Structure 1
Amino acid sequence: MKLLKIISTNVLLLAGMATYAQSTQSSGSFNEAGFGVKAGLNYSTVTKGDFDEGPDARTSFYVGAIAEIPLIDNSFSIQPEVIYSRQGFERNYSFLGSDYTAEYQLDYINVPILAKLYIVKGFSIEAGPQFGFKISEKVDLDNNDGNTGEDLDEVNDFNMSLAAGLTFQFDGGLFINGRYNHSFNEVVKDTDAKNSVFQVGLGFKF
């Protein structure tokens, strides 16, 4: 219930910002104000930090909402987002002569605030800070035994990252997006390991 309240509050805030920007935006620009949705794949891991070996990647998904607020016609916008992002990493280890794989499942509500610069019509680059709030943390051994994972408390609750990427928007509102996020602060406690996430996906701006 708490998660639903957080998501709904932020989505309503984005919608309100987009509506206000739409009402004040002049016509004819291609960075028009709007509200949209997006979803795609995450390829996530953490940096080596103090681990003996670098962790492997976990593949999962993200889904969320965006708002675009133009500041300079045909050139520059601010794009806040609210994203549910399933991240994490995998680690291989041996115990009593057997090999195991542990999948660390880290779920976040991420709130990037991006500066968006249009190079040509439809094509833009974006970068800015991302504020991440951990909502779930589990580990699943071997990921094939039918269990739902064991709850842990080894990961910090807040994650500050830099997000940067590219977007191409087609006429009609459909867009494709690729992005990379990298943490500034420690993710796994007492390891100096940081989140490293590649994302690719589709969205639609209304």
Structure 2
Amino acid sequence: MKKVILTTIAVLAFGFANAQQTRFGVKGGLNITNFSGDNDSNALIGFQVGGFAEIKVIERLSIQPELLFSAQGASFDAIGNNNDIDYRLNYINIPVLAKFYITKQFSVEGGPQLGFLVSAKRDGNDVKDAYKSTDLGFNFGAGYNFTDNFSVGIRYTVGLSNVRDYDTDNIDDYIDSPKNSVLALTAAYRF
């Protein structure tokens, strides 16, 4: 974990050293979230908001570290009850993406993400102790620049780690363990 944080700081420091090649921005949007590996869960609607730095490496390639607040989770059908049970997990996510521009307007991106659990609620009750404090994922997506400053994007985050706070020594248990799954539709503004 220390290596990821130090790498993020190094990337940001590189960006400040090359300020003429770095653009900062803000972004926000809609999350459609679920737990993969758990066939009984239903999607929840959440949001994400935060900032980013786009650091130009070469003509068509940039590194884009981000700092995002992300509302995630899943919903489950309650047995014998008409109401669903909602699990709402809030994270501070730090994705570091490689962003490749296919054209000046259209880009594709991918990269790892580290998430820190801020809160976890089951129908409004605190259940943070039942979830792991960190989450690992991998992002891939695409974006379109309408202008030099305004863009939209779509991104899917594949959860790589079990979100529940229990050990899974058996490979079958790990595969079936709940992992975050997030489809994000965002708008961004670069300064």
Q: CA deviation at 1:134?
A: 0.3
Q: CA deviation at 1:131?
A: 0.3
Name the count of aligned residue pairs. Answer: 173
TM-score when normalising by structure 2: 0.84
| Matched residue, 1:71 | 57
Q: CA deviation at 1:100?
A: 3.0
| Matched residue, 1:113 | 96
**Contact kept in structure 2, 1:47 and 1:54, CA below 8 Å:** no
Indicate yes or no: 2:160 matched with 1:184.
Answer: yes
| Deviation per residue, 1:19-75 (Å, 9 max, x gap) | 43323x3xxxxxxx20000000000000134xxx420011011001010111102x1
Give % identity: 36
2:130 to 141, 150, 154: 154
Indicate yes or no: 2:139 matched with 1:163.
Answer: yes
| Structure 2 residue matching 1:124: 3-state secondary structure | strand
Q: CA deviation at 1:17?
A: 5.7
Computing the radius of gyration from Cα coordinates, the structure with the larger value is 1
1:52-131 counterparts in 2 under 5 A? 53-73=39-59, 75-94=60-79, 97-131=80-114
**Contact kept in structure 2, 1:79 and 1:115, CA below 8 Å:** yes
| Matched residue, 1:42 | 31
| Deviation per residue, 1:3-27 (Å, 9 max, x gap) | xxxxxxx9xx95x66543323x3xx
Q: 1 CA distance for matches of 2:104 and 2:37?
A: 40
Indicate yes or no: 2:182 matched with 1:193.
Answer: no
| Matched residue, 1:6 | none
For structure 1, the 5+ residue unaligned runs are 1-9, 26-32, 141-148
Q: 1 CA distance for matches of 2:103 and 2:148?
A: 17
| Structure 2 residue matching 1:189: 3-state secondary structure | coil
Q: 2 CA distance for matches of 1:87 and 1:117?
A: 27
Q: 1 CA distance for matches of 2:105 and 2:53?
A: 16
Q: CA RMSD in A?
A: 2.0
| Structure 2 residue matching 1:98: 3-state secondary structure | coil
| Structure 2 residue matching 1:120: 3-state secondary structure | coil
1:2-17 counterparts in 2 under 5 A? none
TM-score when normalising by structure 1: 0.78
AA paired with 1:162? F
**Contact kept in structure 2, 1:80 and 1:112, CA below 8 Å:** yes
- More moved, 60-69 vs 189-198: 189-198
AA paired with 1:184? L
Q: CA deviation at 1:184?
A: 0.8
Q: CA deviation at 1:105?
A: 0.7
